[in-house]
Amino acid sequence: MTRAGVRVGISAGVALTRAMPGADAERGPPSLSSLSRGPWATFIWGDSRAVTNRVLYGMVCANDSSPFWLDIRGSTDVPSEPGPVELGWIPPDRLFLTGEPEEARPQKAVGNQALSTLVRGDEPAQVLAHISDFLRLPPIAQEIVSRLNRTETCHVVAIANGDRVRRDYPTTVEGVRHVIEPFLAAPILPFFSATSPPGAGRWAFDFVFEVRAKDLAHWRKGFLVPEKVPSDVEFTVGRPIQLGSIPQLTRAFRDA
């Protein structure tokens, strides 16, 4: 199914499970570095938090040699299997941790009257919308966007464990897009991860992938299943790609 320049699966079930892996084996798996070919936002989800976050790490490293990482967690969230943060793979100056998930909650919307005290009265509506979206981000996300906005390079940011604040965010495509836009405007390419089940808001992202894997011990037999992709990339919606066949993921599972 094609819609607005993207290819999407009809559902996370029928349209995806009928596709057979290995149909494009002769040309190899698509390159993960193609995820930064345009001003795109990526969302990945799966049952195993450990495997999903390793795939997230592989994706961001394939698109930025020094990605930033925001990890949403609380004081009682102890991972059952080590991830990029626990293994020390994220440099301290590029790592942002929440003390509790509440620190990653969105802030209240800012009204036009309040915005008038921050910007000129003749600013275009689009500029006001960008500022409003930015101000609704949690302070920790604002810090990341503000820091990277001072550079001329387009950076990549991973936002891990978004499911821990899912109930605090919009559930519609339009609402989720307001969360994505401040990053893309910076410009920053955001990569979000979450455990299942995902909501309909995931269709706001340009790329959506399901990670099908039991645990770290069986990651090579797992699959990366594209659910939504832009129309001009190598990925095919519903065609599973075996994780063990993707060279750019080797670094993310080097200790598994």
Q: Is residue 250 part of a domain?
A: no
196 vs 208: CA distance, rounded Å: 13
Residue 106 pLDDT level (bands cut at 50, 70, 90)? confident
Q: Is residue 5 part of a domain?
A: no
More confident residue, 149 or 233: 233
Among 128-137, 142-151, 229-238, which range has the highest average pLDDT?
229-238
The domain in which residue 68 lies consists of 39-74+81-217
Of 9-13, 84-88, 199-203, minimum mean pLDDT range:
9-13
Length of the chain: 256
CATH of the domain at 110: 3.40.50
Is residue 108 classed exposed, middle or buried when 0-12, 13-18 and 19+ CB atoms within 10 A define those classes? Answer: exposed
Q: Is residue 18 part of a domain?
A: no
Q: Is residue 248 part of a domain?
A: no
20's CB contacts (< 8 A; 6+ apart) are 239, 240
Above 70 in pLDDT, residue 45?
A: yes
Give the count of domains, the chain: 1
Q: Is residue 249 part of a domain?
A: no
Q: Is residue 254 part of a domain?
A: no
Residue 134 pLDDT level (bands cut at 50, 70, 90)? confident
Q: Is residue 146 part of a domain?
A: yes
pTM, to two decimals: 0.84
Q: Is residue 1 part of a domain?
A: no
Dump pLDDT digits (tens) for 159-207: 999 999 999 999 999 999 999 999 999 999 999 999 988 899 999 999 9
Closest by CA to 168, choosing from 158, 177, 159, 176, is 176
